[in-house]
Amino acid sequence: MSDEIKIQRGPVNKGIKDLQSSSQSLNTSFSKEIEGENKLEIVTNVNEIKQQYDEIMMRFTSLMTKNLQSTEEAVTSMEATDEHVAHEIGLIK
């Protein structure tokens, strides 16, 4: 067993790209807003639900994008730290 921790960037990048692709292809359309001269309470309720749904999906997509960026930054930081530690260990030996 090796004492070295290795980050395998390939699977990490694939996972990030898969999540990005999934979030971009996410169907965010609920339905068209019901228009016309309908005065039914249900029409108003459905339109309000649609608006709330659209807002939630926009927030979700935004959060997903931010989380993916944070993940990429964290992996890059871990790689840099790993290289630094490996260099320092090499100097000590």
- Model confidence at 1: pLDDT above 50: no
Q: What digits encode the pLDDT tens for the residues 44-82? A: 888 899 899 989 988 998 999 999 999 999 999 998 998
Say which DSSP state 34 is in. Answer: P
* Angle formed by the axes of helices 41-92 and 9-24, nearest 10°: 170
Which one-letter amino acid corresponds to residue 89? I
Domain boundaries, the chain: 52-93
Kindly report the pTM of this predicted structure.
Answer: 0.62
* Cα→Cα distances 27→22, 23, 30, 45, Å: 10, 9, 8, 22
Residue 9: predicted pLDDT: 83
CA angle (60 as vertex; 57, 61 as ends), nearest 5: 85
- Please report which confidence band the pLDDT of residue 5 belongs to, taking 50, 70 and 90 as the band edges: low
